[in-house]
Amino acid sequence: MIKLFDYILSVNCYKQRLIMSILDVPFESVPVDFYPGREHKSEEFKKINPLGHIPVIDDDGFMLRDAHAILIYLASKYDPTGLWYPIGSPEFLGETAQWMLFAEGTTNTASAARLHVNLGYDFDIESCRSGAHQLFRVLEEHLWFREQEDLDWVCSSEHPTVADIAIFPDVILSEEGGISRLDYPAIRRWTDRVKRIPRFTVMPGIFPAGDAR
Amino acid sequence: MNLWHPIASAEDLPYRHIFQGQLLGRELAVWRADDDFVNIWENRCLHRGVRLSIGRNEGFELKCQYHGWRYANRSASCTYIPAHPADAPVRTICNRTFSVCERYGLIWSGEDPTGDPPEVPLLEKARTLPLRSIAVNAPLNLVLEHLANYRFSLAGDPGNLAVTSANYLDQRSLSVTATFDSKQSTVLFFVQPVDSNRSVIRGVLSSSPTDSERILTLRHHSTELSRLREKVELEALKAPQIQPMTPTIEQVPVTSYEIKTPSSGRNASLRVQVLRKWVTAEGIVGLELESIGKPLPTPQPGAHIDVHLPNGLVRQYSLTNAPGQGSRYRLGVKLESDSRGGSSCLHETVKEGDVLAISEPRNNFSLRRDAVKTILVAGGIGVTPLLSMAHTLRNNKLDYELHYFAQTDGHLAFPEILQELGDAVAPHLGLSPEATSKELAALLVGYKPAMHVYVCGPGPMLEAARRIASEVGWPDAAVHFEYFKNTIEIDSSSSFEVSLARSALTLEIPSGKTILEILRANGITLMSSCEQGACGTCEVTVIEGDPEHQDVYLNDSEKAAGQRIMTCVSRAKSPRLVLDI
Amino acid sequence: MRSQADRDVCTNGAILDLWHPVVPASEIEVGIVRQVVLLGQAVSYSSTAPGVYLAWRTDPAIPAGTVFMPSAVTENLPVLHRYGYLWTSLGDPSQSLFEIPEYDEPDRRNIHAATIGVYCSAPRAVENFLDLGHFPYVHTGVLGIEPHTEVVEYDVHVDPKNNELWATNCHFFQPMAAATSTTGKMVGYDFRVPHPYCSLLYKTSPLDSSRMDAIGLFVRSVAPDYIEASMFLSLLDDSSSDSFIRQFQQLIFAQDKPILENQNPKLLPLDPRAETPVRSDKLAIAYRRWLSDLGVTYGVIPKT
């Protein structure tokens, strides 16, 4: 069974819990005392990941770190449809990579602001916030135009990809960092759609959407 | 302040979604119900101020995320408080609503708007195209100034921006027309004042381009308006800081902690018109009543109204509507063979177009939404309150069964509704009393904790159902019933005293007079409805003394506890009763 | 951190004269100056030896992160080391800090779970901590589950000895770990408010039904509408690791956070006509009245 080195309030760990729930992949959550224990920075943990970060997975001996790398691995290995990480199509694959890199941006802005507020991390919160708004404006326009073409996800495929999973948690928890989503109606509709993906699961701070009509 | 403002695009309101908006500093929760009605409410749950926009749009009700309070479509009144599943919420718990109008692909609202939203002849005729809305961190006037100089290209080609001319329509909208060669294109800009330093540009193109050019055109305007936004925001930053607007939050009309709304007599405060009357089953007519004047209050499932008939009689009828579903009241009326003029009047005399006086709904037969399974048992016309319950349970995806006992298939009322409810409905037709009892025993077997049963029908059937439920293990508190009539022979021969704890008054109730009558004659205000001990409206709390129950509303445990009394028929065994009024 | 605007500085004697939590003692480094904001004012603290703590109103000449020189501090604030936290007061703390007898019991595990920042007022956070009705909606499958939503009648009283507010005989349906709606049981709770910004709840211990586990919420109000809330537990639990217990508490609190941050107005209104209580809000109503009676004006909208 896959072991996930996990922390309940980490968005990057949540991305793995989310994809594994959607793909119905059983896993064992190994809690890491991220806060206040700072266990991820301990000598013991650095044997698992020398960079001292979570998440890390151990799939029957195969170890992998870095949230987006893990998403790619899990989707490639456990998605029989091949749509979550669409290696079959160079265009979709390119888009997926592009938007996963966009998610690095939202992590460094929106999620950083959240960590600053929640756990006192030392980040320049104002620049995190304005950075997040700049990215959200781009995402808003992008998703609005997707809707104009009857498409529901960040990539132009008809099926969601790991790019949606990568961006979603940073966006949905943005208000914890003081970043309001009042100006982004298309993003808010997209978050409802993500929540309605079958076997979607929450993390603390997220409420499930009701059923679609 | 008295203007209509655009607050959203029509496409911002898909089903089962709640849109968070803001106008003049006030946050709004905007949602489209499953019947397409657009609700615009203050974005604050009345309970403890949590934003309604983080709750759930469940189709006909909005569910607050904090404690699960439900608010009905259209009326915004609270229809269910999960912490108190057995009690109907007080009607005064009602969110603040704002006017709504859909026009030009936009949703319009206002603090207290007068007249109509703006009419723009140019947008009335042709096929219009709403542009992507652009949120700007700048005050409305600054945005308008810049929009007056907005330039765009007809071909969607940014290198070829046309000459434009602007024309103000009013203090927050303008049209911008671009001319190129002999062609023209006009955009109408309506700017929404979100706050003192925030606005939304909502543009509508007066004539939609061909399908192949649609996306190109939308992208072009999106890009050009984004550029405009950058300029506006830069300028806004240089201006002195403006304080955000602080809208007033109204006080709650009255605290609902342990409150009974005072009212006297059988009031008929609403006027309705009979919109439709039809034969829905053998001996049963359906009536659809529509309000003349203000919108009808949302009934809770199981509620009934008093109908004041043209011949002077007053009769009670259950509403078959579920909360939030539609703005009309739907009733079913059975022609009683021994009608004293009530049902016969409705069957024979009342016709479509007639105006009737009715009371506000009374919620004495309320539905719990916390059962693991609910069994509804209907006998004949007793199906009416159970239909509203069935719909509510279905809308809330709660497990239930509706067992409908009737003479024949042709006696089943509202067949179209029954069909909608599908497999959850089980008809039981043409059964003798013995066979009915057998059926009841079969469907009531298997009680588990947190199951509830609701029964409504003729007296003998209710008696049988209550007895059988008890025999197969249902506790009193899980069996709920409503009698339409009280067939007990009322014995009003006793005389006794009644002492009013809060009014420091002691009154004598002589033989032949009811507690209700005497209290009213002495200036005490008390509500009533059926006045025959069936509906529960005239209930009062007993502090001391031994009531003599002659009603059919309280169950056996409640009667034994002796703390409640129906003042319209019940009397006293002891010489004196002390009442909590 | 937030700028210390004038409006954030507390002038409310009823609050200033109390003890307030500063930081968990485990996070204090010997010989290094650190700083927090309490009631709108910067407060610095440090330690000369394990267990020996000092606090003072921040002096720009003694910046955070520098080596601590005790002689540099001209005027100390009163300090207490209790329940694993450093407490101080910006006024005259004539009353002693409230007692938690469970803390000193030899078989107790006393754990600091986390300190989390929230954009809400301290009274809003405390009032939420005292509420059962939200369990099925906010802590779904953990502390409550639909359709078991009923809040049955409970008792509220003020202890005349020390003016602490209590709710007793509270019960709520808690699902089993498997989180299905059919398996679960009624759990008993008591609630205690010994301080306007601190609260404790007591739950029957699964290991010994004659004793209670205690969970505490100790709030440091940074500004009227921003707090740093610390979660404290005093348990009989034997088997779970510290890490597991901490993450569980953090999970619960993080589920409450979006609710607290979406409440308006941020300051708790003490006027009974500002919001709509129902019978199950008996404790919340009593808390608001209790705050009014104490003369609290910071973090609330006082009655007019």
Per-residue pLDDT tens for C145-183? 998 999 999 999 999 999 999 999 999 999 876 444 467
What is the Cα–Cα distance from C117 to C222, expressed in whole angstroms?
Answer: 9
Within chain C, where are the H helices?
A: 13-16, 122-129, 135-138, 242-261, 282-294
Q: What is the pLDDT of residues B434-458, one digit of tens each?
A: 999 999 999 999 999 999 999 999 9
CA dihedral A126, A127, A130, A135 (to 10 degrees): -140
Given B332, B358, B384, the domain boundary residue is B358
Query: What is the CATH number for B522?
Result: 3.10.20.30
Question: What is the torsional sign of CA A88, A91, A96, A98?
Answer: positive
Contacts of B398 in chain C (CB under 8 A): 147
Q: In what order do the strands lie in the sheet with C79-82?
A: C20-24, C85-88, C79-82
Given A29, A55, A78, the domain boundary residue is A78
Residue contact A8–C250, C-beta within 8 A: yes
Short-list B51, B27, B50, B49, CA closest to B40: B27
- For B167, the token pair is 């024309």
Q: What is the pLDDT of residues C73-90, one digit of tens each?
A: 888 999 999 999 999 999
Distance in Å from the first CA to the final CA of chain B: 45
Residue B339 burial class via C-beta count within 10 angstroms: exposed 0-12, middle 13-18, buried 19 and up:
middle
Residue B262 has pLDDT above 60, yes or no: no
| B156: confidence class by pLDDT, cuts 50, 70, 90 | low
A185 lies within 8 A of chain B by CB: yes
Residue B364: its pLDDT value, please? 84
Closest Cα in chain B, distance from residue A145 (Å): 8
Is residue B255 a part of any domain in this protein? no
What is the Cα–Cα distance from B566 to B503, expressed in whole angstroms?
Answer: 19
| Number of residues that make up chain A | 213
Distance in Å from the first CA to the final CA of chain A: 37
Residues 155-184 of A with CB under 8 A from C: 175-176, 178
- For B399, the token pair is 């497990």
Percent of chain B predicted with pLDDT > 90: 63
CB count, 10 Å around CB of C60? 6
Residues B283 and B335 sit within 8 Å (Cβ to Cβ): yes
Phi, psi of C39 (to 5 degrees): 50, 40
3-state secondary structure of C91: coil
Residues C299 and C122 sit within 8 Å (Cβ to Cβ): yes
Query: What is the CATH number for A161?
Result: 1.20.1050.10
How many folded domains does chain B comprise? Answer: 5
Closest chain C CA to residue A7: C247
* Partners of residue C200 on adjacent β-strands: C192, C216
* Partners of residue B57 on adjacent β-strands: B62
Residue C178: its pLDDT value, please? 46
Given B88, B117, B146, the domain boundary residue is B117
Domain match, A182 and A105 both: yes
Closest Cα in chain B, distance from residue C147 (Å): 4
Question: Predicted ipTM?
Answer: 0.95
Query: What is the CATH number for B12?
Result: 2.102.10.10
Is residue B134 a part of any domain in this protein? yes
Q: Which chains touch A (3+ CB pairs under 8 A)?
A: B, C
What is the Cα–Cα distance from A31 to A54, expressed in whole angstroms?
Answer: 10
What is the Cα–Cα distance from C127 to C287, expressed in whole angstroms?
Answer: 7
Query: What is the CATH number for B195?
Result: 3.30.530.20
CA A96 to chain centre: 13
Closest chain A CA to residue C255: A204
Residue C295 burial class via C-beta count within 10 angstroms: exposed 0-12, middle 13-18, buried 19 and up:
exposed
Closest chain C CA to residue B95: C276
- For B522, the token pair is 């002495």
Residue A146 has pLDDT above 50, yes or no: yes
Q: What is the pLDDT of residues B527-569, one digit of tens each?
A: 888 888 888 888 999 999 999 999 988 888 889 999 999 999 9
CA dihedral B61, B62, B68, B71 (to 10 degrees): -70
> Model pTM?
0.88
Is residue A213 a part of any domain in this protein? no
3-state secondary structure of A33: coil
Domain match, B123 and B102 both: no
Q: What's the mean pLDDT in B146-172? A: 84
Domain match, B179 and B234 both: yes
Domain match, A106 and A176 both: yes
What is the Cα–Cα distance from C125 to C140, expressed in whole angstroms?
Answer: 19
Q: What is the pLDDT of residues C269-278, one digit of tens each?
A: 998 778 888 8
Q: What's the mean pLDDT in C179-204? A: 87
Residue contact C258–A8, C-beta within 8 A: no
Residue contact A210–B218, C-beta within 8 A: no
How many folded domains does chain A comprise? Answer: 2
Domain match, A13 and A68 both: yes
Domain match, A71 and A105 both: no
Is residue B334 a part of any domain in this protein? yes
Cross-chain CB nearest to B20 (options A137, A182, A213): A182
Contacts of C262 in chain B (CB under 8 A): 50-51, 54
Residue A195: its pLDDT value, please? 98
Q: Which domain holds residue A102?
A: 90-195
Residues A9 and A3 sit within 8 Å (Cβ to Cβ): no
Parallel, antiparallel or unpaired: strands C268-269 and C226-235: unpaired
Least confidently predicted of B73-82, B355-364, C91-100? B355-364
Query: What is the CATH number for A40?
Result: 3.40.30.10
Residue B265 has pLDDT above 70, yes or no: no
Number of DSSP helices (H) and strands (E) in chain A, helices first:
8, 4
Residues B487 and B478 sit within 8 Å (Cβ to Cβ): no
Cross-chain CB nearest to C262 (options B50, B369, B372): B50
Cross-chain CB nearest to C150 (options B27, B257, B370): B370
Cα distances (Å, whole numbers) of residue B53 to B39, B43, B63, B69, C112: 12, 6, 10, 13, 34
Short-list C188, C202, C207, CA closest to C234: C202
Residue contact A189–B135, C-beta within 8 A: no
Domain match, A96 and A42 both: no
Residue A90: its pLDDT value, please? 94
Closest Cα in chain A, distance from residue B36 (Å): 12
Is residue B94 a part of any domain in this protein? yes
Residue contact A189–B14, C-beta within 8 A: yes
| C95: confidence class by pLDDT, cuts 50, 70, 90 | confident
What is the Cα–Cα distance from C221 to C22, expressed in whole angstroms?
Answer: 10
* Preceding peptide of A198 cis, ω within 30°: no
What is the Cα–Cα distance from C109 to C114, expressed in whole angstroms?
Answer: 15
Short-list B482, B479, B470, B481, CA closest to B371: B479
Closest chain A CA to residue C111: A36
Domain match, B479 and B515 both: no
Chain B with chain C: Cβ pairs closer than 8 A: 98
Domain match, B229 and B133 both: yes
What is the Cα–Cα distance from B319 to B333, expressed in whole angstroms?
Answer: 11
Domain match, B31 and B137 both: no
Query: What is the CATH number for B334?
Result: 2.40.30.10
Least confidently predicted of A198-202, B352-356, C230-234, C260-264? B352-356
Given A78, A112, A140, the domain boundary residue is A78
Residue C287 has pLDDT above 80, yes or no: yes
Domain match, B25 and B63 both: yes
Residue C2: its pLDDT value, please? 46
Question: What is the torsional sign of CA B88, B92, B93, B96?
Answer: positive
Is residue A207 a part of any domain in this protein? no
Is residue A39 a part of any domain in this protein? yes
What is the Cα–Cα distance from C74 to C52, expressed in whole angstroms?
Answer: 17
What is the Cα–Cα distance from A183 to B335, expressed in whole angstroms?
Answer: 58
Residues B272 and B289 sit within 8 Å (Cβ to Cβ): yes
Residue B251: its pLDDT value, please? 65
CA B183 to chain centre: 51
Domain match, B319 and B379 both: no
C250 lies within 8 A of chain A by CB: yes
Is residue B365 a part of any domain in this protein? no
3-state secondary structure of B140: helix
CB count, 10 Å around CB of C49? 8
Least confidently predicted of A160-174, B203-217, C111-125? B203-217
Query: What is the CATH number for B431?
Result: 3.40.50.80
A37 lies within 8 A of chain C by CB: yes
Is residue A203 a part of any domain in this protein? no
Contacts of C252 in chain A (CB under 8 A): 204
Is residue A114 a part of any domain in this protein? yes
Domain match, A66 and A100 both: no
Domain match, B289 and B316 both: yes
What is the Cα–Cα distance from B55 to C124, expressed in whole angstroms?
Answer: 19
Residue B420 burial class via C-beta count within 10 angstroms: exposed 0-12, middle 13-18, buried 19 and up:
middle
Residues contacting B11, CB < 8 A, separation 6+? A147, B105, B130
Closest Cα in chain C, distance from residue B233 (Å): 24
Domain match, A115 and A141 both: yes
Domain match, A65 and A95 both: no
Is residue B570 a part of any domain in this protein? yes
Distance in Å from the first CA to the final CA of chain C: 33
Closest Cα in chain C, distance from residue A203 (Å): 8
Q: Which amino acid is at B222?
A: S
Q: What is the pLDDT of residues A45-69, one digit of tens each?
A: 999 999 999 999 999 999 999 999 9
Is residue A211 a part of any domain in this protein? no
Q: Spell out which chain B residues touch chain A, with contact meaning CB-CB distance below 8 angstroms.
A: 8-9, 11-12, 14-17, 19-22, 34, 54, 56-59, 63, 65, 132-133, 135, 194, 200, 214-215, 218-219, 222, 226, 397
Residues B467-476, buried b or exposed e (16+ Cβ, 10 A)? Answer: ebbeeeebee
Structural domains of chain C ordered from first start: 4-88 (2.20.25.680), 101-301 (3.90.380.10)
- For B475, the token pair is 């506790």
Q: What is the pLDDT of residues B383-409, one digit of tens each?
A: 999 999 999 999 999 999 999 999 999
Residue A97: its pLDDT value, please? 95
Residue contact B66–C148, C-beta within 8 A: no
Residue matched to tokens 């009154």: B507
Within B327-449, where are the H helices?
A: 342-344, 383-395, 415-421, 433-444
Parallel, antiparallel or unpaired: strands C52-57 and C41-49: antiparallel
Closest Cα in chain A, distance from residue C294 (Å): 30
Is residue A208 a part of any domain in this protein? no
- For B41, the token pair is 């409410």
Within C120-241, where are the H helices?
A: 122-129, 135-138
Q: Which domain holds residue B354?
A: 270-358
C246 lies within 8 A of chain A by CB: yes
Q: What's the mean pLDDT in B262-291? A: 85
What is the Cα–Cα distance from A178 to C280, expressed in whole angstroms?
Answer: 32
